[in-house]
Amino acid sequence: MAKITNKRLGELIQALFRILEKHPDGMKAKEALATLADSVTLTEYEAGSYESGRRFEKIVRFATVDTVRAGWLIKDDGIWTLTKEGAKALKQYKDPLEFHKKAAHLYQQWYKHHKGLQSSDTQSAVGTDVEGLEDESEKSASVSYEEAKEQAQEKIDAFLHSMDAYDFQRLVADLLKAIGYHVTWIAPPGKDGGVDILAYTDPLGTQGPRIKVQVKQQCKAVTEPDLKSFMANIGQHDSGIFFCTGGFTKDAETYARSQESKRIMLVDSAKLVQLWTDNIPHLSDQAWQQLPLTPIYFLTPEK
C-alpha cells in the first residue's frame, strides 16, 4: 500500500517554496524543515522515523533533489534558497501533482544528460504513488552528502560561537598568517573603531595594499548598512576583509560586488572553514588547536 503520493510530495515542496519565498536570503535547511513541519499536518507515516532520523525530513530532502536539478532551488553550505525559476514554477504549476511531475521530468533530463543515457533508460514511472524513496541510490547519495556537510558545519558553528570573542579574533589573525599575510596589529579589548586586525603582504608593511579586517562572531547576517559602515574605514589604497560567522545578506553581497574602487572580501563560517582546512599545513600547532579540524573526504554527488 502506498505510503505517500506524488501529489502529497508536490504539496510539501510547494509549501516549502512558499516559506522560502519569504526569505530571499535563504534559510538554513534545518530551520526551513522545522518551519515546514509546523505549517503542515503530518500523516502518521510522515511523523514516523527511520534509523537515521524522522521520516518527514528524509521525504522532503529526497523530493528537493528534483527541484535542485530543475534549477528551482539552490542548496549552498546548508542554506536553501528559492531561485527565480523556482518562484516562477510555483506560480505556473499550481496543481501539486503537476508541480511534482514537472520537477521529476527536469530531474530525468539532467540525469540523462549527465549519465549519457537514452531517454528510455531514465524514464521512471511518475504515477500516483511513490515508494522506497530511501532506495533511490542517486538521490540517497546526494541527501546523505548534504546532511553530513550540514551536521559538520552546525557543530563547527556552535564551537566558533562558543569561543571567547578575542580568541576568535586571534584565530582569524592566525588564519591570515597561514595564508601568507603579515599581521601587524590585533585590536585589544575595547573600542576598535571598526577595524579588528591590520595586515600587509610584506613583513615591513612597505608594499600595498594595507588590509583592514573586521571580525564579527554572531549568528545574525551582516546587512548592507553594516557593511557600508565597515567600508567607510577602507581607503583607496586599502583592501578589506569582513569575517562574520552569521554570513551576509544578499544586499550586502551585492553591494560588495559593486565596489570598483575599494576591494572587499566577505568570509562566512563555511568559507572560513574552507580556508582553515586548505591552510592546515601552514598553521602552527598552537594555532591549529584553536580550531582542530580534520578533513574527511566524500565522493561528491554530481553537480
Q: Are residues 110 and 181 in the same domain?
A: no
pLDDT recorded at residue 71 = 96
Q: Are residues 170 and 268 in the same domain?
A: yes
pLDDT recorded at residue 127 = 41
User: C-alpha grid cell for residue 270?
Assistant: 563555511
pLDDT recorded at residue 204 = 78
Can you list the positions of beta strands (E) in 207-287? 210-216, 238-244, 263-267
pLDDT recorded at residue 133 = 38
- Residue 193: pLDDT band with limits 50, 70, 90: confident
pLDDT recorded at residue 115 = 67
Residue 151 lies in a domain: no
Domain boundary among 69, 104, 120: 120
What residues make up the domain containing 236? 161-288
- Residue 121: pLDDT band with limits 50, 70, 90: very low
Domain boundary among 95, 120, 145: 120
pLDDT recorded at residue 134 = 36
CA angle, 18 as apex, 16 and 19 as ends, to 5°? 65
Residue of 284, 246, 286, 281 whose CA lies nearest to 266: 246
Mean pLDDT of the chain: 87
Averaged over 9-23, what is the pLDDT? Answer: 97
pLDDT recorded at residue 131 = 35
pLDDT recorded at residue 33 = 96
Q: Are residues 100 and 187 in the same domain?
A: no
pLDDT exceeding 70 applies to what percent of the chain?
91
Beta-bridge partner residues of 216: 244
- Predicted structure pTM score: 0.78
Domain count, the chain: 2
Q: Are residues 223 and 115 in the same domain?
A: no
Q: Are residues 105 and 223 in the same domain?
A: no
Domain boundary among 120, 153, 173: 120
